[in-house]
Structure 1
């Protein structure tokens, strides 16, 4: 099936900021009109406006910590590296950062050092197959955090991230904590849409697709550091109303513990919608829709909506798993819930529903 069937609303489709409310009097026409070339940053009240063709990184190095971006393209030849307390805000879909050469990340927050209070919002990151990661949060050390905070407290909101070579957004480093990511759409990630190797943060209304079958890729990866990373492990995190869809391997790959998933979904995946390897997590009202998808190269009856490896201290409550038989074809998803027998027998799989699974709703192993 043509992937265009799955093109849905863009989280950046509307105007996401009102110039008068945010910019302390900066006129909207100033922010939404292309700047001259070469473009120079301008001070507008408390904000530094960097027009298209201007250098975001130069503005930061010159001391700007409240940066507004306008209508047009910002071509990056090196990562943007925010300092502590830095805010970078665009004009929604009108503001496009484009990678123009190979780089590890388009925006690098921390780089393994102590940085807190960074906010990035209302823009598009086009990795163009050049940048490995859209945004890399790698924060270690709490020195000089605001008011002695123990956590980095960063905010990532209302973004679209396109075609990262590896990951849309990565979270690692021992102090990448108390961060909130909301309304972020990652499209066609090479490995993971969201790579979560850090604890104690929140994801709200985020979504991801992947483009490459590796046997281990996923819309969301939550777990220990992968090879070559310094992550400390995705534990005690919160995911609410997030969705992995059109994923070439897993929708969700969970290898961390003490995480909470509420109202999250996997839809149209080649392998398991939810591949839950590790124990001690909670899933409430989560959904799996059409794993083992032929559209993504799978054979029918190969993968499950929920596959739970360990279930002694994990609960699935009010979850749903089904094959909607797209295009009127026969069922593809094998089991709705493939779980250890003890999990089902001892009441940790509760109130499950589903239909049109190729082999059955529940498999007790």
Structure 2
């Protein structure tokens, strides 16, 4: 298997098209056409992790966090980022990062937290905007089913929990080809009228290339008329954070004890308890202060995240509990998610879960 083929598999879980603009996801080091001998899955790519990949004979590191986040003008080994890159390049080890693409995934970082906490009836906390597109195209009446099924096959017409959704309008199309044209119906140089159907289907942004390829391949005309527009519909399965319901309400003190044990954290920084049961729980792995207001609007009893600053805690305003469990702790199960996903998809080489604890924070 080539590196790019493995990346295509990972994009089934979380397409890179949904990475945040500020992020640096994708293949950061290495040649996408190289064969894969083994994959090491980690949260962070440190020098010790590259050494582990060398020992385990893995020439691809799949990392959640990108080791290269901002631009580099020199690679001299003066800091840990540059030393990682030098060692990876010297040993022909590729590095691939998913980060916010996996943050935004329905089955990504936040789904793992929900799974660990046993949350049910999950919903996206902050749905991602401008991710649903619409295709309108015009097809001869006799070819409608063929074209529509070709579009369905590559993901068109999927809306939330529904598939094969479309809308059709019958009408009459007209065209006249010049001397160099090769009309499928009618004769060049003559005005032709044809019974046509307008097909409208929605699709997710990352599928655009595949949708258009299927359209051009299945459509009978030499020149295909079509338009693609962006919709404002909320994407129910894509975005930052999640909110769900506990099977049974829990006392707030007992829930914090359960949270500390389940998320394997040494310390939970939280706002004052409100002396009411915890039922509705919002989560966002990593730095999540930007989602506090969304958690309040959603009616959460507690919002679990990380990297909250002093003034962020004031935003609770006695409406919910804010709980900072630590950045590493909130994302620690992500590498298990990636390794499990790859093991189900691939069986012809090793998928190794890194045994190195990359958390830079020590609690005294």
Q: Which has the larger radius of gyration?
A: 2
Instruction: Name whichever structure is richer in helix by fraction.
Output: 2
Q: Shared fold by TM > 0.5?
A: no
Output the TM-score relative to the length of structure 1: 0.22
Identify which of structures 1 and 2 has the higher relative contact order when contacts are C-alpha pairs closer than 8 Å and 6+ apart.
Answer: 2
- Which one has the bigger strand percentage? 1
TM-score, length-scaled by structure 2: 0.22
